[in-house]
Amino acid sequence: MEEQIALAVATALATKGAEAFGAGAREAIASLFRLVRDRFGAGTRESVVLDGAVEHPEEQWRQTALASALAEVMARDPQFATALKSEWHRLAGPSIIAAQGQVANHFSGTAEKVVQARDVRGDIVF
């Protein structure tokens, strides 16, 4: 579970995923970034990984490295893990609202496969 949250947070931070969450999310992403930045500190290995992921969002390996760094710190620091999970759930929670003509999907739970679609015309066979 913590690895999943770490990867989701890493991806959001690296890609500045505010657009994916709709209006008002920029401040939430900034708050999430500050939480991680404050915990990682300055000049640490983790802060270098964070900066690299933010500066080079197109490089998937950097997001993976950030997710690993987050998961490691979460495992060592339960208070940080709790704060990060809380902030992430506040950002990515079910309060996501789509503007006119846009789509907002929310899935919560566990499943082996999930399909979300919009404007399907014709038959779908799985």
pLDDT of residue 83: 94
Instruction: Tell me the average confidence (pLDDT) per consecutive run of 10 residues in the chain, 126 residues long.
Output: 79 67 66 92 93 89 94 95 89 60 67 80 84
pLDDT tens figures, 64-78: 999 999 999 999 999
Pick the closest to residue 73 from 33, 93, 45, 42 (CA basis): 45
pLDDT at 106: 65
**Cβ atoms of residues 16 and 29 within 8 Å:** yes
pLDDT score of 7: 83
Torsion (CA) 116, 70, 41, 39 in degrees, nearest 10: 80
Which pLDDT score is estimated for 18? 44
Q: Which of 99, 75, 113, 107 is nearest to 22 (CA)?
A: 99
> Tell me, what's the pLDDT at 1?
60
